[in-house]
Amino acid sequence: MNMFRYIEPESVAEVVSAIKEDADISIIGGGSDLLSEIKNGTTRPNVLVGLSRIDELKGIAVTDTGVRIGSMVTIDAISSDPIIKKDYRALSEAASGLATPQIRNIGTLGGNLNQRPRCWYYRNPLIDCLKKGGDKCYALGGHTKYLCVTEGERCYIVHPSDTAVALSLFNAGIEIASAVGTKIVPIHSFFVSPSQNILKETILEPDEFVTAVYLPKDSSESRHISKYVKARERQSGDFALVSVGISLKVSSGTIKACSICFGGIAPTPHRSIQMESYLENRSIESVDISYASSLAISDPRPFPDNEYKVTLAKNLSKKALSELFSDL
């Protein structure tokens, strides 16, 4: 592990100034992911910028347009917030099932959205894979049990964030700060695939960092319900093998709008457009849950080691839909 300097600014403006002074900076929230990257040499910052003293990055606030969640809000705080439990249940469920209680108490929303891939070829300090600027993907011909089953191109990572999948259901906005000010981008534009840029997973430039997430207010008259479920090898502390979030807006027994997103199957949170199209404008009584679930992944291309993920995605979809329908 290389030597680095640690600073704790007290405002977003001070973070921006620090980034101007040294381009080789890493931003740290709870540190549950970044510190492991530093220890194994994947990341070698000259300066580590801690955000724990910046009050404007903390807190969950209800606004006229929805809910603002600061990037330093802990996963535990999200899971227990009454407004999120009531109006954005899938996000509360994703947060409450994430990792272990210890990690949920220290891990932050900003860190969870920006965590790096769990692929063990990428994480191995002795392997110089494509994502680290090398010339080869070592997963090809290697162990592929945990890798993607769709949208893989040159690099076959899966997106590791539970909260990103849930936030995608609600068309969340990601607030980003830099020297030129702040901007809000849709979450669907925040993540990038290996085919877009193999070296990174988000649109963030070196001088940018996440300051908040916005959940828009649902102004429709439809009943809005959501669900998040995942499968993992161990019931505590493990990343999802496959996860799915489903959001439905229902009025007079008809699904007026729907959003479905998967984790663990693609390099970015994966929207199931085909499944959404089947469900939208269909009455609850006429939905064939088994058929709808069969549409989970439109173009599966699994490796021999991870074909189970295709079946798992269908079964989790069936479980989530069944539980949502039982709530109506």
Residue 9 falls inside a structural domain: no
Instruction: Confirm whether pTM is higher than 0.85.
Output: yes
Q: What pLDDT digit, counting tens, does each position of 6-59 carry? A: 999 999 999 999 998 887 899 999 998 999 899 888 899 999 999 999 999 999
CATH number at residue 186: 3.30.465.10
Confidence of residue 219 (pLDDT cuts 50, 70, 90): confident
Place of tokens 């979030």: 245
Q: Which of helix, strand or coil describes residue 123?
A: helix
Residue 79 has a pLDDT of: 98
Helix, strand, coil percent values for the chain (each to nearest 5):
35, 25, 45
Asked if the structure places residue 179 within a domain, the reply is yes
Domain final residue pick, 194, 216, 238: 216
CB distance 71 to 109 below 8 Å:
yes
* CA 161 vs CA 115, 148, 176, 281, 305: distances in Å: 7, 14, 18, 30, 22
Tens of pLDDT along 109-121?
Answer: 999 999 999 999 9
Q: Is residue 133 part of a domain?
A: no
Average pLDDT over residues 152-177: 97
Q: What angle do CA 108, 268, 32 make, to 5 degrees?
A: 25
Please report whether residue 279 resides in a domain. yes
Strand locations in the chain, DSSP E?
A: 5-7, 25-28, 47-50, 60-63, 66-70, 173-178, 181-186, 209-216, 223-231, 242-251, 254-263, 270-271, 282-283
The predicted structure's pLDDT at residue 304: 94
Residues 228, 211, single domain; the answer is no
Between 2 and 148, residue with greater pLDDT: 148
Select from 202, 268, 234, 226 the least CA-distant residue to 99: 234
| Full strand arrangement of the beta sheet holding 47-50 | 5-7, 47-50, 25-28
Structural domains counted in the chain: 2
**pLDDT of residue 226 exceeding 70:** yes
109, 211: one domain: yes
Grade residue 237 by pLDDT with cuts at 50, 70 and 90. Answer: confident
pLDDT of residue 234: 86
Count CB-CB contacts under 10 A for residue 289. Answer: 16
**CATH number for the domain that contains residue 251:** 3.30.390.50
Q: Residue 231 corresponds to which amino acid? A: A
pLDDT computed for residue 198 by the predictor: 97
Q: With respect to residue 229, please indicate whether it lies within any of the assigned structural domains.
A: yes
Checking if the pLDDT of 167 tops 70, the result is yes
What's the confidence (pLDDT) of residue 1?
Answer: 67
Angle between helices 89-96 and 162-169 (to 10 degrees): 180
Q: Could you tell me if 236 and 273 lie in one domain?
A: yes
Name the H helices within 120-239: 120-123, 162-169, 187-190
